Structure 1
């Protein structure tokens, strides 16, 4: 299984039947790239597999750029060069490839995103920082991490340990003689994003799921891939929250249309549930008792399986991983030339749910109640996340109201012109007022008119 990018670097999964301590190998052309290979496996031990793979995919084009375009004192930059060279290369990459603006400060750099900057700048910096963290831990990089501002760490330590008295430790906070230690400090990153703000994507294309299903059919997806794709759009869950479902997660809910699952940051605790369609339930039960049963080492069906058994299996009968599933998703997208990250299904779900809320609710109270239900279902830590989606619908409501106003103006213009033609045939009649005291005038209206002068 090979995943190819428009770079010199690519990764290959370990072939079936081959024993290796690496489940994935990274190559540079025909040569293995052990630093990136070791990084992936070390990173996978600290974060989720999907995040480790995302970091690796972000680094592949950067390593290609280092080989072909980087320059430090007249030479190409190698990943193993000292921090000074690495920082220059990253700064050039941010400005020339990611179209960011970089401002120099005493010991660090401020990074400003522009309208042309991709929304992956933060991920890129995190990936490089994590890469050097792994290389230092594995003793393959003898210097300090180029992505860390060591001076910021030193200043932070000093500010938290030095008191107002010279060469004396800080007094206890309860004494009230020292300024309180700030609860937050500036990030220790050498490259600091100063205008980076996460923005959920608005995907208001109603037929997107069905387009994806058709692409899956053309790519010969199995029932497993089709069920996971349907769950992505129907539940709004992250791919890993679906892929790692167990039989017990499905049994844990009273409704046959629901399953318990973990959430990002819940450390495996099942803190939320997913709800999907009756058609997906039929497909899921059929998969468990047919395709999955054939792959199961004991050939057990739903009733025989223990709660700990994973719902989705690989062709070897092992628990399905994000990487194995993503290969099939990516294959369908590449074949159709459609650039669609599976996480966009989550944005599509929220956009569609909000549209439905606005369509069926009759009062503002109903809208707010249903939005609160959606927030609880999504398990958003920050309730303000929904405001970006609301802004989209507020703008859309303004467009609809504005269109109605324009239609009304057009009709009034037509009526005016029609009536004017009729009036031209009649001689205008003017009313002569001899004394203004004969007029009954609205004083409030007069104040308004005076204010417009």
Structure 2
């Protein structure tokens, strides 16, 4: 399917309320997606907003060309029923999913031909209608939300007091809710529980650095790649660093940055190696300086200045950086999403924790420090990584047991061969108890054995 919807960033010399414009198949500005993008960046990061947009463009292109509801093309502002029919058809025909009806909603199952973006597509579409409803441009309820599921859950969570709402958890008067909340989505993706990717190759960073050298990465791309592997940060959290973020920390090996959902507020810090510090300062004072409009070095740059610049002196963006990353990965035939650097970091840190800790208390303390550093909202995330190490420990212990069994089997067979060579002989010893003083009961027993 040809992608007809596209987007462009606003040129630097043009004043506009939009930093990005989406265009439809006729090259006309398409404001619904444009408005959605700008509404998103007020709630989530720009990289996430772009990711949503990239998932939606093919769907809107498909709507104009192939959708059908009661003999007519489906438009984005049609009724929820028409939108749902179109989405279901798109999931089955374009994303190779299996969709089946369940009560008043739909179960969606990915096949081996389905792209990995199915979940993101559904989330993006739900977000789109949420934005357009908020902006009063879509007059119906969100087609991606199952209102019946919300109603049923509300009815099931009634408190112990008849006709009264549940007391808060801290009150301690209500039984705990043990059932898992069912998603309110109309299209419920099954067998799709998120699992972080465990990457255990200790040489992965150096393979990436070599890939970058092959496609002539500049010092800027190399510094960013090193910081991703050394800090466990998301790409946008590194790319959008400012000079002030670096100056705000006492240690020259650290920088403050934002977190997912913090709306730009600096709520965590990144820590990197001394070698990366040297490369970073070299970039700022040499490479960056030549693109800075005032040719400033680190000491004279203002705090609000971005650390990373494009060749035309504008702030470096995730999209511009990803071009260089993707080029290196394709050149070396590596299928490596940038976010996997974060998984690699967590896996490596956990391995080091288990290798260097002497007690369970020490392991627990270091894991809590890692959770705080990464800024995970849900501590349960770490358990998936720990499960990986539990399996590794089991493999090592099991291999040890198997080796021990093999050695014992070999010893047994050798001993058996040795016994077969010697003919067994029975020696009878005749004992004379006449000269010994023997207890009467024992003597009687011995006599009975003759």
TM bin, normalised by shorter chain, reads 0.7 to 0.9
The residue that corresponds to 1:213 in the other structure is: 209
- Secondary structure of the structure 2 residue equivalent to 1:290: helix
- Secondary structure of the structure 1 residue equivalent to 2:355: helix
- Find the aligned partners of 1:235 and 1:81 in 2 and give their Cα distance: 46
The residue that corresponds to 1:131 in the other structure is: 128
Contact in 1 for aligned 2:25/2:61 (Cα 8 Å): no
- Find the aligned partners of 2:275 and 2:341 in 1 and give their Cα distance: 18
- Alpha-carbon offset, residue 373 of structure 1: 2.3
Contact in 2 for aligned 1:132/1:141 (Cα 8 Å): yes
Structure 2: state its 5+ residue gaps: 169-173, 429-450
Corresponding residue pairs, total: 423
- Alpha-carbon offset, residue 354 of structure 1: 1.4
Summarize the Cα distance change of 1:81–1:404 in structure 2 as closer, same or farther, 3 Å threshold: same
Contact in 1 for aligned 2:234/2:339 (Cα 8 Å): yes
The residue that corresponds to 2:141 in the other structure is: 144
- Alpha-carbon offset, residue 121 of structure 1: 3.7
- Find the aligned partners of 1:395 and 1:118 in 2 and give their Cα distance: 29
Contact in 2 for aligned 1:103/1:109 (Cα 8 Å): yes
Contact in 1 for aligned 2:108/2:189 (Cα 8 Å): yes
Summarize the Cα distance change of 1:223–1:317 in structure 2 as closer, same or farther, 3 Å threshold: same
Structure 1: state its 5+ residue gaps: 433-453
The residue that corresponds to 1:58 in the other structure is: 55
392, 416, 421: which one aligns with 1:420: 416
Q: What is the RMSD of the two structures over their aligned residues, measured on CA atoms?
A: 4.0
Contact in 2 for aligned 1:69/1:76 (Cα 8 Å): yes
Contact in 1 for aligned 2:44/2:261 (Cα 8 Å): no
Q: Highest CA radius of gyration, 1 or 2?
A: 2
293, 297, 312: which one aligns with 1:301: 297
- Find the aligned partners of 2:72 and 2:321 in 1 and give their Cα distance: 41
- Find the aligned partners of 2:292 and 2:199 in 1 and give their Cα distance: 38
- Find the aligned partners of 1:388 and 1:101 in 2 and give their Cα distance: 28
- Find the aligned partners of 1:334 and 1:79 in 2 and give their Cα distance: 36
- Find the aligned partners of 2:106 and 2:306 in 1 and give their Cα distance: 46
Summarize the Cα distance change of 1:302–1:408 in structure 2 as closer, same or farther, 3 Å threshold: same
- Find the aligned partners of 1:405 and 1:155 in 2 and give their Cα distance: 52
- Alpha-carbon offset, residue 103 of structure 1: 4.9
- Find the aligned partners of 2:29 and 2:125 in 1 and give their Cα distance: 16
1:260 aligns with 2:256: yes
TM-score, normalising length from structure 2?
0.79
- Alpha-carbon offset, residue 17 of structure 1: 5.0
- Find the aligned partners of 2:86 and 2:272 in 1 and give their Cα distance: 47
Contact in 2 for aligned 1:49/1:323 (Cα 8 Å): no
Q: Give deviations 1:210-248, integer Å, cap 9, x for gaps.
A: 222223233333222221111010000112221222222
The residue that corresponds to 2:433 in the other structure is: none
Q: Give deviations 1:309-341, integer Å, cap 9, x for gaps.
A: 322223343333333333333343345453322
- Find the aligned partners of 1:76 and 1:418 in 2 and give their Cα distance: 81
